[in-house]
Structure 1
Amino acid sequence: MINFAIVGCGHIANKHAEAISNAEGANLIAVCDTIPEKMEPFVEKYNVEPYTDLKELLTREDLDVINICTPSGHHTGIAVQAANAKKHIVVEKPIALTLEDADTIISACKENNVKLSVVHPNRFRPVMMELKKIMDDDKLGKLSHANATVRWNRNQEYYDQAPWRGTKALDGGVLMNQAIHNLDLLLWVMGDAEEVFSMSATRLRDIEAEDVSTGVVRFKNGALGVIEAATTIYPKNLEETLSVFGETGSIKIGGRTANFIEHLNIEDINDESSNDIIEGVKADPFGKPGHQWIIEDMAKAIVEDREPVVSGEDGRKALSLVLALYESAETNTPVKIN
């Protein structure tokens, strides 16, 4: 049994606690927050030990993994302390808000020989695993382009829940907070990005960062991509889509949270088989929760002494793409991705 502790007891910590409690081979033993009241529901529900001092928590010899659920701008300091204490790390997306901080986290984990996983749970949706299988089998042939769309609503009340929401120093905007999952998926199925051009704006929400963004990307394989992300959709979430087009096939994944195959036409897959894939996804569109996949994978990675499926480098790539889009929007020029 691998023992986990959660640092930061805000909204997302609930998903982590539930995932750990349901995960095979995982056990939640502690929570940590500077505000004791935030820990009370976790202590009552999961019978865990509360800590207001991170250093004290990290001295526990029976603790294996730290789940970092604090605002994004605080990830780095906590991760470095945890790595130096020889604790493995599961960190919420984004891994950090700068590449320098991401590299600091990755280096600290490598130097201390601890494992690092970034929470990009959308990869584990049944529909996304079907898409990855199609892409890995090269069923679409030479790729033409892809499209990622996030048309969601996050009203002013959402941003007013906490003073750090929507700030550039601790949170970021729609690209960094919501659409980074979709950018991770784009990179996962299309390969590394090479160049971007983007425009963004803060149109409807009273925040520092952007609430709407559009951009184009050129992948290293020559294919193009289109990105649209917004939290300005009235009055509620409309759709999240991921489409991929190639020489011998096309596929569109959609729904309010991209859980269904809306179009599938591939040269090597007949209509009956295509329908079986579509209906198979429809029968269980949500599957095992993505956070539970991440937790179980970390537990297995420790036991098997391997890298987690979603690594620190994966988290860095998604962050790098977001930051390139930000730089392009600020400078009004194309930006190469290193």
Structure 2
Amino acid sequence: MNFAIIGCGFIAKKHAHSIREIEGAKLVAVCDKIPENMMFYVKEYGARAYEEMNEMFQKENIDIVCICTPTGSHAPIAIQSAHAKKHIILEKPIAMTLEEADQIIEACHMNQVKLSIVHPNRYRPAVQELRKIMDHHLLGKISHANAMVNWNRNQEYYDQAAWRGTKEFDGGALLNQAIHNVDLLLWFMGEAEEVYSMQATRIRKIEAEDVSNGLVRFKSGALGLVQASTTVYPKNFEESITIFGEKGTVKIGGPNAVYLEHIRIDGMPEEEAHALKVKIEADPWGVPGHQRIIEEMIEAVKQDATPAVSGEEGRKALELALAFYRSAEKNQPIAIRTGDSI
């Protein structure tokens, strides 16, 4: 299938590399307002460069577009791509507001094109193992869960592009850096019904938050904690997700959440738990998540199926993150009513 990439910043390189790794997939075009941003893809992949989307859609035979632009521009670009009858792989988060997310999802439904949101952490080997554990209810009744992202994004990172750290186009530590972990928390724990959050901009000179702490009550009655920051000195400290149940505890951690740091489950011999840890350590990243998402999209198009990380799935993570923002702004608990605009 023929691919195009819209927005040729840092993350676009992961898409381009993944496309090249997949048999039968080809990057035929790239689109960016800044011509020099596209030169790498022209030279490395033989892609044709366009400054305007309409011209690219008219001149190229494109099956799937990968949208890698700042979040604040996702909605108009995705909607235009959907009306052009292109299947869409959209970088995280799906949008800046639920209204925008709904507009994207509706445009894809109306034009009968597939939509997948890039939440690649779901495909990490340790995460896949925890998913199996949760699916088999091996931890019993869940009491609570933690999702932590304590990273370093220095001032130079934010100063590289005017949109970074803005409320209109980017968001802060929660919406940008921790949205994958919000997605995982919901994937493991189910729907949320209430949140309470505090946020601050302590160190970085940005408009959005550089530290966020949030509590969540899930519909199951279990509780959750989400912590996100970009202020850690001098480099990434931890990314982790921990599930606590009546019959076991599992923690995926490290500077990036790729290792089984702790696994104790009732009835699981220590030798088996150790062997699982060793297995993960041998290949902690597995097949890159971007590649898995692109492969799933190709299969979804061929089989007329819904991608695993659909637009609706991406909307759930955005809904929880925005509820945290709203709680911090109002300094009060916020009830989540699925389907509402935030």
- TM-score grouping bracket, smaller chain normalisation: over 0.9
1:139/1:268 contact within 8 Å kept: no
DSSP-derived class of the 2:294 partner: helix
Separation (CA, whole Å) in 2 of partners of 1:138 and 1:112: 39
Per the alignment, residue 15 of structure 1 pairs with 14
Separation (CA, whole Å) in 1 of partners of 2:313 and 2:26: 26
2:29/2:60 contact within 8 Å kept: no
Report the alpha carbon displacement of residue 230 of structure 1 after superposing the two structures with TM: 0.5
Separation (CA, whole Å) in 1 of partners of 2:25 and 2:223: 41
Within a 5 Å distance, the mapping from 1:1-338 to structure 2 comes to: 2-60=1-59, 62-338=61-337
1:59/1:85 contact within 8 Å kept: no
Separation (CA, whole Å) in 2 of partners of 1:216 and 1:326: 12
DSSP-derived class of the 1:195 partner: strand
Report the alpha carbon displacement of residue 57 of structure 1 after superposing the two structures with TM: 1.3
Q: Percent of counterpart pairs with the same letter?
A: 60
Report the alpha carbon displacement of residue 23 of structure 1 after superposing the two structures with TM: 2.1
Q: Deviations over 1:58-79 (max 9, x none)?
A: 2246210111001100000011
Separation (CA, whole Å) in 1 of partners of 2:147 and 2:320: 13
Moved over 6 A (4+): none
Report the alpha carbon displacement of residue 193 of structure 1 after superposing the two structures with TM: 1.0
DSSP-derived class of the 1:11 partner: coil
Separation (CA, whole Å) in 1 of partners of 2:237 and 2:332: 30
Q: What is the letter of the counterpart of residue 256 of structure 1?
A: P
Q: Deviations over 1:73-96 (max 9, x none)?
A: 000001111101110000000100
Separation (CA, whole Å) in 2 of partners of 1:11 and 1:61: 24
DSSP-derived class of the 1:59 partner: helix
2:190/2:219 contact within 8 Å kept: yes
Q: Deviations over 1:19-64 (max 9, x none)?
A: 1111233211110011111101110000011111101112246210
Separation (CA, whole Å) in 2 of partners of 1:328 and 1:205: 22
Report the alpha carbon displacement of residue 268 of structure 1 after superposing the two structures with TM: 3.0
Q: Mark the runs of 5 or more structure 2 residues left unpaired by the alignment.
A: 338-342
Per the alignment, residue 340 of structure 2 pairs with none
Report the alpha carbon displacement of residue 279 of structure 1 after superposing the two structures with TM: 1.1
21-30 or 310-319: bigger deviation: 21-30
1:6/1:30 contact within 8 Å kept: yes
What's the Cα RMSD here? Answer: 0.9
Separation (CA, whole Å) in 2 of partners of 1:145 and 1:184: 16
DSSP-derived class of the 1:164 partner: coil
Q: Deviations over 1:214-262 (max 9, x none)?
A: 0110111111001111000011111111100011111011111011011
Q: What is the letter of the counterpart of residue 100 of structure 1?
A: E
Separation (CA, whole Å) in 1 of partners of 2:139 and 2:233: 35
TM-score (norm 1): 0.98
1:174/1:231 contact within 8 Å kept: yes
2:252/2:259 contact within 8 Å kept: yes
